[in-house]
């Protein structure tokens, strides 16, 4: 099948590469010529496991990059809209890029097309795409609009696409439904995983994904509701962590106990410094705006957002408490991306913590395996960028762990203790146990757990005058 993907961002690039991996001929289009030229040289724009491998495998064979939308639409049967939908000032999704793409598709239409809405959009956007196509001169019989949301996690996006839990397709015509099943047939019949050179399946991959044929409105609602629910799970365990911390309970044991219930599960149930990234913040906000437009005050979503903001505030307060004064202190930071296995720093809690500390005149030396370049574009030279984790710690007053990279959970703690000025570790991701830190002689502060204080300052002796 010939496919055009509009947008070379996270969703568009991964979708284009994976569809080529499934045997389709794909043209990925973007208005940013510099980005297209970069991809055309065979370089990846984002940090994603397996993405460089499949880009190299199919570039110039089944996968092409272009800024010529008209030609891409002409050549394709399926046209996928994967452009950005950022939040505007009111919290609604900004659909201007979707509208522009729709208008340009209408102008370029030369035969019947399946227009696939893959960007995260408010419910009923498919109806607006349909209306816009007609207003721009197309007959309703010349195209079908399909909602086919993505459920990709940054860091595991390629395997999420090739080994999905579910494929949701919202359409109104049998023709479109049939073609969408053909598009994903290799994932449904297991033939992709059986072919030579297939990207290996995750250990928890479903043997056969759920394939749900539904209406466009239902499909759109599934996507927003899914992200809002996952954000709610994160905020829930973070709210519980406050109670655990106040009562001397251990949130990690609480998490294991709760998550062992099959109805709840362990995923997205880790206490930390809050969610971030390009999806959850804007999608929770947009879903709340959608609810308001439907006459529903979805107060739960406001609480989800508030808990997330409060968690960051509490963590900064924990840093201040551990250091007494932060002004002039040198702090080592491990982790800049909003989560591990990605270089994405959009809405990163780590960046927000750093900015708070910079405002309080704290000196920051930071390291991240993938997100240094993107962070430098944001923070410029306001912080020092270390060459490796241990370089960041040299003579530091405290160490902050802000992203859950695997290498940060396997540090040589004896070396850490020897490099730092003071033995203080403040872990926003709960990567270590109290026993590990106690044995290493490190004062350890984490989320929702009792502190480990093995090195105490000498008590201050007051000068008390004798009364005769």
Domain finish residue from 177, 192, 214: 214
The mean pLDDT of the chain is 94
Q: Are 232 and 304 in contact (CB under 8 A)?
A: yes
Domain finish residue from 309, 339, 374: 309
Measured CA to CA, the distance from residue 260 to residue 255 in angstroms comes to 8
Whether residues 153 and 205 share a domain: the answer is yes
Q: How confident is the model at residue 460 (pLDDT cuts 50, 70, 90)?
A: very low
CATH assignment of the domain containing 229: 1.10.1040.10
19-53 confidence digits (pLDDT tens): 999 999 999 999 999 999 999 998 888 999 999 99
Whether residues 7 and 123 share a domain: the answer is yes
Helix 299-323 / helix 280-293 crossing angle, nearest 10 deg: 150
Residue whose entry in the numeric block shows the structure tokens 């992203």: 403
Whether residues 420 and 277 share a domain: the answer is no
Q: What angle (nearest 5°) sits at the alpha carbon of residue 292, between those of residues 286 and 293?
A: 90
Whether residues 263 and 170 share a domain: the answer is no
Adjacency order of strands within the sheet including 166-170: 63-66, 25-29, 2-6, 78-81, 113-117, 143-147, 166-170, 210-214
Measured CA to CA, the distance from residue 24 to residue 22 in angstroms comes to 6
Task: Classify residue 304: in a domain, yes or no.
Answer: yes
Q: Are 367 and 333 in contact (CB under 8 A)?
A: yes
Residue-wise DSSP of 169-227: EE-S-HHHHHHHHHHTHHHHSSHHHHSTTPPPPPTT--SS-EEEEE-HHHHHHHHHHHH
Q: What are phi and psi of 69, to 5 degrees?
A: -65, -40
Q: Are 448 and 272 in contact (CB under 8 A)?
A: no
State the pLDDT at residue 92. Answer: 85
Measured CA to CA, the distance from residue 211 to residue 129 in angstroms comes to 24
Per the structure, the count of domains in the chain is: 3
Cα atoms in the 13 Å half-sphere on the side-chain side of 346: 13
Residue whose entry in the numeric block shows the structure tokens 């107060």: 299
- Report the pLDDT averaged over residues 176-184: 97
Q: Are 211 and 177 in contact (CB under 8 A)?
A: no
Task: Classify residue 219: in a domain, yes or no.
Answer: no
Cα atoms in the 13 Å half-sphere on the side-chain side of 459: 3
Catalytic residue among 28, 138, 279, 365: 279
State the pLDDT at residue 456. Answer: 56
Q: Show Cβ contacts of residue 465 under 8 Å, excluding neighbours closer than 6 positions.
A: none
Task: Classify residue 467: in a domain, yes or no.
Answer: no
How does strand 443-446 pair with strand 424-427? parallel
How does strand 78-81 pair with strand 2-6? parallel
239-283 confidence digits (pLDDT tens): 999 999 999 999 999 999 999 999 999 999 999 999 999 889 999
128-157 confidence digits (pLDDT tens): 999 999 999 999 999 999 999 999 999 999
Domain finish residue from 159, 186, 214: 214
Whether residues 127 and 80 share a domain: the answer is yes
pLDDT of 342 over the 70 cut: yes
Q: How confident is the model at residue 465 (pLDDT cuts 50, 70, 90)?
A: very low
| Annotation says 362 is catalytic | no
Task: Classify residue 451: in a domain, yes or no.
Answer: no
Whether residues 234 and 209 share a domain: the answer is no
Whether residues 192 and 101 share a domain: the answer is yes
- Report the pLDDT averaged over residues 4-11: 95
Whether residues 370 and 294 share a domain: the answer is no
Which of 189-193, 278-282, 319-323, 456-460 shows the lowest per-residue confidence on average (mean pLDDT)?
Answer: 456-460
Task: Classify residue 455: in a domain, yes or no.
Answer: no
Task: Classify residue 453: in a domain, yes or no.
Answer: no
Which of 275, 200, 192 is CA-nearest to residue 235?
275
55-84 confidence digits (pLDDT tens): 999 999 999 999 999 999 999 999 999 999
Whether residues 342 and 374 share a domain: the answer is yes
Q: Which domain holds residue 413?
A: 315-446
Whether residues 288 and 328 share a domain: the answer is no
Whether residues 110 and 157 share a domain: the answer is yes
Task: Classify residue 459: in a domain, yes or no.
Answer: no
Task: Classify residue 452: in a domain, yes or no.
Answer: no
pLDDT of 382 over the 50 cut: yes
pLDDT of 461 over the 80 cut: no
Whether residues 209 and 283 share a domain: the answer is no
CATH assignment of the domain containing 409: 3.40.50.720
Give the CA radius of gyration of the chain.
25
């Amino acid at each position: 099948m010939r496919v055009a993907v509009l947008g070379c961002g996270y969703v568009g690039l991964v979708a284009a590469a994976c569809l080529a991996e499934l045997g389709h001929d794909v043209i990925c289009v973007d208005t940013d010529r510099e980005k297209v030229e970069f991809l055309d040289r065979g370089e990846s724009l984002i940090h994603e496991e397996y993405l460089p491998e499949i880009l190299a495998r199919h570039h110039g064979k089944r996968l092409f990059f272009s800024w010529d939308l008209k030609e891409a639409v002409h050549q394709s049967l399926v046209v996928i809209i994967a452009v950005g939908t950022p939040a505007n000032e009111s919290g609604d999704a900004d659909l201007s890029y979707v509208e522009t793409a729709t208008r340009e598709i209408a102008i370029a239409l030369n035969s019947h097309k399946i227009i696939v809405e893959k960007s995260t959009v408010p419910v009923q956007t498919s109806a607006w795409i349909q209306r816009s196509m007609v207003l721009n001169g197309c007959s309703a019989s010349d195209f079908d609009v399909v909602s086919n949301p993505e459920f990709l996690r940054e860091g595991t996006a390629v395997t999420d696409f090739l080994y999905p839990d579910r494929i949701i397709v919202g359409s109104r015509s049998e023709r479109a439904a049939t073609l969408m099943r053909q598009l994903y047939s290799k994932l449904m019949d297991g033939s992709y995983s059986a072919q030579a050179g297939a990207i290996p399946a995750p250990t928890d991959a479903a043997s056969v994904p759920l394939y749900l044929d539904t209406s466009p409105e239902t499909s759109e609602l599934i996507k927003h509701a899914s992200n809002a629910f996952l954000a709610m799970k994160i905020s829930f365990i973070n709210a519980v962590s406050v109670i655990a911390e106040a009562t001397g309970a251990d949130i990690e044991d609480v998490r294991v106990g709760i998550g062992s219930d099959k109805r709840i599960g362990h995923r997205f149930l880790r206490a930390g410094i809050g969610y971030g990234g390009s999806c959850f913040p804007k999608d929770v906000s947009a879903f709340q705006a959608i609810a308001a437009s439907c006459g529903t005050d979805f107060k739960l979503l406001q609480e989800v957002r508030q808990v997330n903001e409060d968690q960051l505030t509490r963590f900064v307060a924990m840093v201040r408490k551990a250091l007494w004064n932060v002004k002039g202190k040198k702090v080592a930071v491990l982790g800049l991306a909003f989560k591990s296995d990605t270089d994405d720093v959009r809405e990163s809690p780590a960046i927000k913590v750093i900015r708070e500390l910079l405002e309080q005149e704290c000196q920051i030396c930071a390291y991240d395996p993938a997100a240094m370049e993107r962070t430098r574009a944001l923070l410029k030279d306001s912080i020092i960028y270390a060459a490796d984790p241990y370089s960041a710690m040299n003579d530091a007053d405290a160490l902050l762990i802000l992203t859950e990279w695997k290498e940060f959970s396997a540090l040589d703690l004896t070396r850490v203790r020897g490099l730092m000025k003071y033995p203080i570790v403040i872990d926003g991701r709960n990567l270590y146990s109290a026993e590990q830190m106690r044995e290493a002689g490190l004062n350890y502060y984490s989320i929702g757990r009792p502190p480990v204080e093995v090195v105490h300052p000498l008590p201050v002796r007051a000068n008390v005058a004798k009364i005769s």
